[in-house]
Amino acid sequence: MSLTLGGGPLAADAPTTVNYALDAPRHALFMHPFPRRVRAVIGGRTVLDSERGGLVHETGLLPVLYVPIEDIAQDLLTPSGHTTHCPYKGDAAYWNVAVDGAVAENAVWAYPEPVPEAAWLRGFAAMYWDAADAWYDEEEQVEGHLRDPFHRVDVRRSARRVLVRLGDEEIALTDHPRVLSETGLPNRHYLPLEGVRGELLVPSEKRTYCPYKGQAFYWHLRVGDREVADAAWSYPDPLKDAQNVREYLCFLHDELTVTVE
């Protein structure tokens, strides 16, 4: 993500604070070897199994895993006849994946004759993440998408004073938040529970998953007759990089005012 989004060198808004120029088009591609074995499973059958994959970083997009096409079970693939055109990669051909009568349509694609600028894609194919029931990085199941080696999360203790208000109502106040810095995103301040008026929080059914932080649980904010939906989130069981915000709350909503001093 850091290469293609958020002001990274391959992003559309690439930084000007450099002493070099990249001889690259406005829309850039970069294939970087993925260092571990990756598998995709559909209907209990391993459909993709590769130790030779590469992450293709493309301006404005999340990285996509491409593997040698022979690392995808050939007996499960049927050409679909569907095609698309990418001006940066060429004409894509698609395959259906059939497992025990269930068919994932157009789940796999490749560029049999890529444009010269992306000739290194020849012989590689990709599979839509949602087409598989499960993905594995070595023996660990992966949610969301593969972790980008150029993306990182850092959490630091802070002495900044953070105040959260809804109109004139004080919602939370602390002078010992945790600052979470994540590649390509603004800093987020996480507040300890003792600094939050917990009686104003109502659990939400919303859940999101971040491959770098884990599963986020959301909270509504209810002040009198007024309710602000999904005004805060927390990570009760975060991944390693976000361990230091376990059970801390982060507030972010257009109706809230968050002041950091």
Higher pLDDT, 249 or 20: 249
Nearest of 180, 174, 167 to residue 210 by alpha carbon: 180
Domains in the chain, ordered, with CATH?
Answer: 29-142 (2.170.150.40), 153-260 (2.170.150.40)
For residue 93, what pLDDT band results from cuts at 50, 70 and 90? very high
User: What pLDDT does 150 receive?
Assistant: 87
Percent residues over pLDDT 70 in the chain: 95
Q: How many CB atoms lie within 10 A of CB 224?
A: 8
Indicate whether 1 pLDDT > 60. Answer: no
Helix (H, G, I), strand (E, B) or coil at 219: strand
pLDDT digits (tens, 9 = 90+) for 164-190: 999 999 999 999 999 999 988 899 999
The residue-averaged pLDDT of 47-73 equals 95
Q: If you average pLDDT over residues 29-33, what whole number do you get? A: 92
CA 114 to chain centre: 27
Q: pLDDT-based confidence at 258, cuts 50/70/90?
A: very high
Kindly tell me if the per-residue pLDDT of 20 is higher than 70.
Answer: no
Q: In this predicted structure, what is the pLDDT of residue 188?
A: 97
pLDDT > 90: percent of the chain: 82
- pLDDT at position 62, please? 87
Which of 21-30, 49-58, 97-106, 191-200 is predicted with the least confidence, judged by mean pLDDT?
Answer: 21-30
pLDDT (average), residues 192-208: 97
Kindly indicate the confidence band of residue 6, based on its pLDDT and cuts at 50, 70 and 90.
Answer: low
Report the distance separating Cα 104 and Cα 88, nearest Å: 26
Mean pLDDT calculated for residue range 221-246 = 96
pLDDT band, very low/low/confident/very high, at 95 (cuts 50, 70, 90): very high
Q: Is the pLDDT of residue 228 over 60?
A: yes
13-to-3, 7, 32, 59, 86 alpha-carbon distances in Å: 11, 5, 21, 10, 21
Q: What angle do CA 18, 35, 184 make, to 5 degrees?
A: 35
Question: Mean pLDDT across the chain, nearest whole number?
Answer: 93
List, edge to edge, every strand of the sheet that includes 140-142: 45-50, 38-42, 134-137, 140-142
Q: Which residue has the higher pLDDT, 184 or 51?
A: 51
Whether 157 has a pLDDT exceeding 60, the answer reads: yes
Mean pLDDT for 84-108 is 96
What are the C-alpha distances in Å from 141 to residues 25, 37, 53, 59, 188? 36, 12, 17, 27, 27
- Name the residue with higher pLDDT: 61 or 54: 54
Q: Give the confidence band of 24 by pLDDT, cuts at 50, 70, 90.
A: low
